[in-house]
């Protein structure tokens, strides 16, 4: 069955299979319809992930400050631009994770990152349970990539305390029904090994930041998924800035510029 023939529940199962496959799932983050189509057209693309930071920036908001309706409208436009499974960055759930995910599923979204922002663990677990319940109510095996900010919001505490916190939270999220645990940060080999050992093989999701390991190295260590967050938009904006700078000088648009839009 081609992806264009799949229902939303079937796309969720397709994303689940990609998460559980031996190969790491590489998702290149997009932020609007044209970036979605551009990435979706590449032979190696199996699923798309939205970038919440990038969507917010493209609408003039700081990361985490975009209104829910604006964010969900942008995500819906991305879903409409592709037949592939789409997993969305839904910040911390916009104050009502269950309802946010219900609305996202209505737009065709089949997975999401939802961050804990290091709120007390029982509160974070309740958010995971609400998301899982929303998926079940809609008949969708929703692929929650439950994010813990144990490393990026850990402050000046020792790294081992942050790793232990990430493992405790990750295990609790999986027990509550999450599919994966997203631990953002620049993860070296040792920390990655500890997270995989503590949370589970093929249960950890990472972000490819400057200084991080390669996707192949994370795959070797048992990581399930790698995404790139706002980095894709930053690279695109650098290309725009550099072209504009050149055009203000003596430059012309390169003749080999592809008509991707």
Alpha-carbon gap, residue 261 to 259, rounded angstroms = 6
77: closest CA among 62, 59, 61? 59
CATH H-level superfamily of 3-245: Phosphoenolpyruvate-binding domains (3.20.20.60)
Contacts 24+ apart (CB under 8 A), 41-46: 45/84, 46/18, 46/84, 46/85
Q: What is the pLDDT along the chain (261 residues), one digit of tens a residue?
A: 445 589 999 999 999 999 999 999 999 999 999 999 999 999 999 999 999 999 999 999 999 999 999 999 999 999 999 999 999 999 999 999 999 999 999 999 999 999 999 999 999 999 999 999 999 999 999 999 999 999 999 999 999 999 999 999 999 999 999 999 999 999 999 999 999 999 999 999 999 999 999 999 999 999 999 999 999 999 999 999 999 999 999 889 999 999 999
Cα angle 193-19-213, degrees, rounded to a multiple of 5: 40
HEC states along 54-120? HHHHHCCCCCCCCCHHHHHHHHHHHHHCCCCCEEEECCCCCCCHHHHHHHHHHCCCCEEEEECCCCC
Q: How many CA atoms lie within 13 A of 73 on its CB side?
A: 8
Token pair 């144990």 in the structure block, residue: 150
Burial status of residue 235 (CB atoms within 10 A of its CB: 0-12, 13-18, 19 or more): exposed
Alpha-carbon gap, residue 237 to 232, rounded angstroms = 9
C-beta separation of 244 from 252 below 8 A: no
* Domain ranges within the chain, ordered by starting residue: 3-245
What pTM, to 2 d.p., does this model score? 0.95
pLDDT at 100: 98
pLDDT at 146: 98
């Amino acid at each position: 069955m081609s992806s264009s023939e799949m229902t939303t529940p079937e796309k969720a199962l397709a994303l689940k299979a990609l998460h559980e496959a031996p190969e790491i799932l590489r998702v290149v983050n997009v932020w609007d319809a044209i970036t979605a189509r551009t990435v979706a057209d590449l032979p190696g693309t199996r699923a798309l992930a939205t970038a919440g930071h990038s969507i917010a920036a493209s609408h003039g908001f700081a990361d985490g400050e975009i209104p829910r309706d604006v964010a969900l409208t942008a995500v819906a436009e991305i879903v409409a631009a592709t037949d592939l499974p789409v997993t969305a960055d839904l910040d911390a759930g916009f104050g009502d994770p269950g309802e946010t995910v219900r609305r996202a599923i209505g737009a065709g979204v089949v997975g999401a990152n939802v961050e804990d922002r290091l709120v007390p663990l029982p509160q974070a677990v309740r958010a995971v349970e609400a998301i899982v319940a929303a998926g079940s109510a809609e008949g969708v095996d929703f692929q929650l990539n439950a994010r813990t900010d144990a490393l990026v919001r850990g402050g000046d505490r020792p790294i081992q305390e942050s790793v232990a916190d990430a493992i405790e939270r990750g295990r609790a999220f999986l027990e509550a029904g999450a599919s994966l645990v997203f631990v953002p940060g620049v993860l070296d080999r040792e920390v990655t090994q500890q997270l995989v050992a503590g949370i589970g093989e093929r249960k950890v999701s990472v972000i490819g930041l400057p200084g991080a390991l390669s996707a192949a190295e994370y795959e070797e260590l048992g990581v399930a998924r790698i995404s790139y967050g706002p980095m894709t938009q930053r690279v695109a904006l650098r290309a725009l800035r550099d072209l504009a700078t050149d055009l203000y000088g003596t430059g012309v648009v390169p003749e080999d510029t592809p008509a991707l839009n």
